[in-house]
Structure formats: structure tokens, C-alpha cells
Amino acid sequence: MNLEQLESTAKAMAAPGKGILAADESTPTIGKRFDQINAESTEENRRTYRDMLFTTEGMENYISGVIFFDETLRQSTVDRDVPFSKHLSDLGVVPGIKVDKGAKELAGFEGEKVTEGLDGLRDRLKEYYDLGARFAKWRAVITITEEAPSFACIDANAHALARYAALCQEADIAPIVEPEVLMDGEHNIEASFEVTSEVLSSVFEALVRMDVYLEGIILKPNMVLSGYECSEQASVDEVAEATVSCFMRFVPAAVPGICFLSGGQSDIHATEHLNAMNCLGTEKPWKLSFSYGRALQQPALKAWGGDPANVENAREAFLHRAKCNGAATTGDYTKEMETSE
């Protein structure tokens, strides 16, 4: 285990002014995104779309890392036939890979899930390292209802995240640890705070027990929000204060960066919340950044529409969102940025 390399990778992913592009949609998920623009989800179309994002001039100024799906890590750029992982590495962008096999029903706990994929992971990580991946991602999902989450669900997912992280570091791959508390539901921000606290506490206890090197990981969590169906939605400032307060209590200072997921927020809301956190006077021991999928890609996807004639417009839309979120990592985002470009 190369601790120096792990720490260097994690710090590069949490560089000021930059964040992570989550381009790891599974084939069914990206198929649904393509359905929205009436584009056929063929392997070549998926390659063309991701090539459009990865070859956007200047993206490396705002994107520190890209999470691939297995198919994408094996693909190359359209024009020069350079493996995507090498193309990004040459730009100083760290290539990564989604390694979990998805959230499945947790036996005995109706409506709750546990993420699978540990079987054979050691061998897959070795192959992914050889293909150029230097970090990995594993997502766990926690649901809030009147009955959930159960302790069993939180514990099972924390244990899986810790075992995954330990296997990654054994392979000199920096793990992104992603415990996502879903914001679907009518719960208020107080309930979100409570459950997120329980999850973070359990996850870091499990990581420590598995002797995971915390300086060599990135945390990818949810923000502390009101449930999307809640009648009283917390303000941007309330979300920022609740989120930072929660993470100050439960995330060790050894962790280099917290790269939030957007979790169904609108692209602008995700940017505003991140910016507000970085504007708080609280002295934070870790970098607060982003690891967004839809919140970075949706405007570009709509602008592209599957039409080659729209590629440059789509690249401009992608670069704009990346630039706005990059500014949010240092608290320099303003609403004027949305209208001035």
C-alpha cells in the first residue's frame, strides 16, 4: 500500500477551484437520460457523448477527476483514439471508476437496501488500475421514512463501504466513500440532520475498524436538506449551516476533501448550496467541493440533443456549469455568473 500515492491522489481530487465529474451512469441510467432527448443509447452514442464532455477545452481548469463506468474506462477519444483515462491524465485530471454492483433489497428490512459488489473486487481493482484508474467509487443509499433507516441498514452499508475502501487502498486506488441519505420524502431538515449524523458516525467507525487510511480517501455525501416533498423547504443559508455543522461533528480532520453529490437538486441549487457552505466563517479542516453528475451534465445533455451540430453549444453549457461550481468551491460564485455568460 503506497500511502503517499493515496494521499496525493485524494488531495489532487480536492484541489481548490475544482471538483469531480460523475460520468459513471450505468447503461440503463444513461439510457433514461438519452430517452429525454430522443437519442438512441448505443455504445457509440454513449462514447460520443462522453467524448464531448472529456474533450471540452478548458474543462481541466475546473474538473479534478472523472468517475467512469466500466464501459467508458475501456473506450477512447473519437478523434485521436487515445484511451479516455490517458487523455484525462495528460490534462492533469484523475481517472476513476465506479466499482459497486448497485443497491439491492436488504433481506428482512422491506424498503431498505444494501450495496453489493465485494465479491471479486480485489481482482477487478487490479484490472482497473492497469487500465488507468487511480480512484474508485462505491455508493450506499439510506432512505428516510417513519420506520427507516434501521440500525441494521446503516451498519450493513457502513461495513460494506469500509471493506471496499480497504480493498481499494490495498490496490493503491483512492476510495471515494459515498453514503447517500436520500432526500426523497416529506421529512424536514432536522430529520435529515439526525439521520446524516447517524450514518456518518457509523461509516467512520467502520472505516477506522478496517484500518482505512483516512488521509487517502474522499467523502462523497449528501447535503443536509429538507425532503423534496417537505412543505417547508430550508433556505440556502439554512442548508449550508446545517450541513457544515453536521460534518464538523462527525468527519475527522484527516479527510482531505468532502465532495458533495447533487442528489436530485437542480443544477443552480447545487451550486448555491456549495457556495454558501464555503462562504461560512467556520474554519473547516477539509476542502468542500462537488462530485456532480446531473447537476453538471443536464444543461449540456439538453443542448446536445444527440445532434453533432450542437456539440459546441453543449460544451459551452458544460464548461459554464463546471466554472460556476469551481467558483463555489472557494465561495466566489455569484448569481451574476449565470446571466453574464
C-alpha to C-alpha distance for 270 and 144, rounded to whole angstroms:
21
Task: Give the residue among 299, 309, 308, 261 at the shortest CA–CA distance from 36.
Answer: 299
**d(Cα 77, Cα 84) in Å, to the nearest integer?**
6
Q: Residue 297 belongs to what H/E stretch?
A: helix 294-304
End-to-end, the C-alpha distance of the chain in Å comes to 45
Contacts with 269 (C-beta within 8 Å, 6 or more apart), sequence order? 236
Residue 67 phi, psi (nearest 5): -90, 120
Give the Cα-Cα-Cα angle 180, 114, 232 (nearest 5 degrees). Answer: 35
Residues tagged active-site = 178, 220
> How far apart are alpha carbons 48 and 58 in whole angstroms?
18
Q: 10 Å Cβ neighbour count for 159?
A: 19
Q: How far apart are alpha carbons 9 and 322 in whole angstroms?
A: 20
